[in-house]
Structure 1
Amino acid sequence: MADLVSRRDWNARAPRGDYTQLDSTRGVKVHYTGGRVDPGIVGDHNGCVSLVQSIQRGHMDGNGWMDIGYSFVACPHRKVFVGRGLHHLPAANGAGLNVGHYAVLGLVGNAGLVQPPDGMLHGILDAIDHVRERGDAGKEIKGHRDGYATDCPGEALYAWVRRGAPRPGGGGTTPPETPPFPGRLLKYPPIMRGEDVRTWQAQMRTRGWELEADGAYGPGSRDVCRRFQRQQRVQADGIVGPTTWRLSWEAPMP
């Protein structure tokens, strides 16, 4: 179970008014930030705290909401921030849709940190277990885009939701599906950093290439990419684009 970060611990602002009571729901809607998330939060939990505070400011001062719109927020360190909490109507699902589901945010965006680390997926599922056990939530796990016109929760999180939101490391013999292409070309120079780089590097290590999964796409990553591309008989430009990304998971092992 994730560590619950109380509102006091993340220095939340007090809500402006009383919450609307939420007796029970059909389940949970999963969200992402919709903006750029600094990949540095993966190694710095203080960055997660600052980001959650920033989201609350945006919701209260920008949207005019009484509080942060989410019920709970999960970060890469398997910690779950209490937003509006149990039995309180969220605001993030969309007008007319909030009564049906709790709203759980994963701290990934549409740029920067786009691939949810395992700790974040565990945190989202821990939050879901929490609202089921203590908040009378049903079994549904949906994406924000289900029933509402939005890109949220992003391709990576939504693909995970569509797979049934499995826990990382759950075992089984079925190989993992190819993660969605992160939306940017991984190339050098200059050095590119991010969880998308780390995800690709880790997969290449799984395939037997000598490459450190340090999240930095530099000359070593470019060299491995070129050799892999030659092996797969595609253009050896050292750039991880959609084709090379897909082959990294789907090409037969040599």
Structure 2
Amino acid sequence: MKLVTRSQLGWPASAAPTQTSTRGVKVHYEGTEVSTRLLADHDECIAEWKAIRRSHLANKQENYSDVAYNYAACPHGYLLEGRGIGRRTGANGNQDLNRAHYAILGLVGSSGLVVPTDAMLAAIRDGIELLRAHGAGQEIKGHRDGYATSCPGPSLYAWVQKGAPRPAGTGGSTSTPSKPSTGSKAPAFPGRQYFKAGANNRYVTQLGKQLVKKGFGRHYASGPGPRWTEADRRNVRDFQLSKKDLRGDADGYPGPLTWKLLFS
């Protein structure tokens, strides 16, 4: 688990009301546009989380005592502490529903960055398991379960409905940091012909998802897909420029070495 604590964020102890148990955890999303810049730069995730807290503290109508959520999860797999353990959520405004479930926010929205990465899902799962170890019940729900809202959006809610499974290869410990796999083998490079203007195939989707996973998805407007676009090319070029062995041929089109390094 990669945890960023309140002290690391420069925040004092939460002033939210204490609570020792809940029926479980509810998953949330931002419900507004979230910039795809978060995919490329973890500092943008921290800035986003701090901005959410500032906006909540400035909300005089709800009169928040702190950021509304117990935790947030970012595209890079970090669990960001909010109210934390043993604090009542404020995710339902000032309603009694706050007593029923803790709240974890995925840093995705209704436009821009809308599809959670596997690393984000793993971080949400880390938060669920951490809260379960400190009094949360077994329920895993979306915000819309019991409250009239579209939150947590279609992608996160579909995952919640499946039981919020931990993505394969993302670890499962709530007490030690998850370690990257060292023995995985890169899938075979399918060929350059699959990555050119007009291409529409599963390898483009596979490429795009891996770029996002590696933190090189900032040019996507709504996540990777099967159709080769300029956003794919620009994201590949960003990855190539980040690798010394690829900089001399950073044209944005994957070859065997780009593919191997991307999936290593």
TM range (shorter): 0.5 to 0.7
Q: Which has the higher contact order (CA 8 A, sep 6+)?
A: 2
Q: Which residue of 2 aligns with 1:178?
A: none
C-alpha displacement of 1:14: 5.9
Confirm or deny: 8 A CA contact 2:16 2:66 kept in the other structure: no
C-alpha displacement of 1:163: 1.4
C-alpha displacement of 1:159: 0.9
Counterpart Cα distance in 2 of 1:169 and 1:98: 32
Find the partner of 1:22 among 19, 24, 32.
19
Counterpart Cα distance in 1 of 2:8 and 2:16: 20
Counterpart Cα distance in 2 of 1:197 and 1:152: 19
Gapped regions of structure 1 (runs ≥ 5): 171-191, 205-210, 220-254
Counterpart Cα distance in 2 of 1:126 and 1:28: 12
- Matched AA of 2:100: G
C-alpha displacement of 1:19: 2.8
Confirm or deny: 8 A CA contact 1:90 1:98 kept in the other structure: yes
Counterpart Cα distance in 1 of 2:90 and 2:230: 35
Q: Which residue of 1 aligns with 2:200?
A: none
Q: Which residue of 2 aligns with 1:229?
A: none
- Matched AA of 1:123: A
Confirm or deny: 8 A CA contact 1:196 1:215 kept in the other structure: no
The answer to whether residue 33 in structure 2 is matched with residue 36 in structure 1 is yes
- Matched AA of 1:77: H
Counterpart Cα distance in 2 of 1:76 and 1:148: 26
C-alpha displacement of 1:9: 1.3
- Matched AA of 2:54: R
Counterpart Cα distance in 2 of 1:73 and 1:197: 20
Q: C-alpha offsets along residues 155-183 of structure 1, whole Å, 9 cap, x if unaligned?
A: 1101111111112127xxxxxxxxxxxxx
Q: C-alpha offsets along residues 109-158 of structure 1, whole Å, 9 cap, x if unaligned?
A: 0010000000000000000010011x211110000000001111011101
SS of the counterpart of 1:9?
helix
Relative to structure 1, is the Cα distance of residues 169 and 88 closer, same or farther in structure 2, using a 3 angstrom cutoff? Answer: same
Q: Which residue of 1 aligns with 2:231?
A: 216
Gapped regions of structure 2 (runs ≥ 5): 170-217, 235-264
The answer to whether residue 220 in structure 2 is matched with residue 194 in structure 1 is yes
Confirm or deny: 8 A CA contact 2:26 2:102 kept in the other structure: yes
Find the partner of 1:48 among 45, 48, 59.
45
TM-score by length of 1: 0.67
Confirm or deny: 8 A CA contact 1:41 1:48 kept in the other structure: yes
Q: Which residue of 2 aligns with 1:122?
A: 122
Confirm or deny: 8 A CA contact 2:111 2:222 kept in the other structure: no
Q: Which residue of 1 aligns with 2:73?
A: 74
C-alpha displacement of 1:196: 3.3
Q: CA RMSD in A?
A: 2.4
Q: C-alpha offsets along residues 12-52 of structure 1, whole Å, 9 cap, x if unaligned?
A: 3665xx43221111100000011111111111000000000
Relative to structure 1, is the Cα distance of residues 217 and 197 closer, same or farther in structure 2, using a 3 angstrom cutoff? Answer: farther
What percentage of aligned pairs have identical amino acids?
45
- Matched AA of 1:25: T
Aligned length: 184
- Matched AA of 1:164: G
Q: Which residue of 2 aligns with 1:149?
A: 148
Confirm or deny: 8 A CA contact 1:197 1:217 kept in the other structure: no
C-alpha displacement of 1:93: 3.1
- Matched AA of 1:105: L
Counterpart Cα distance in 2 of 1:54 and 1:13: 16
Counterpart Cα distance in 2 of 1:38 and 1:76: 12
TM-score by length of 2: 0.65
The answer to whether residue 103 in structure 2 is matched with residue 88 in structure 1 is no
Counterpart Cα distance in 2 of 1:165 and 1:153: 13
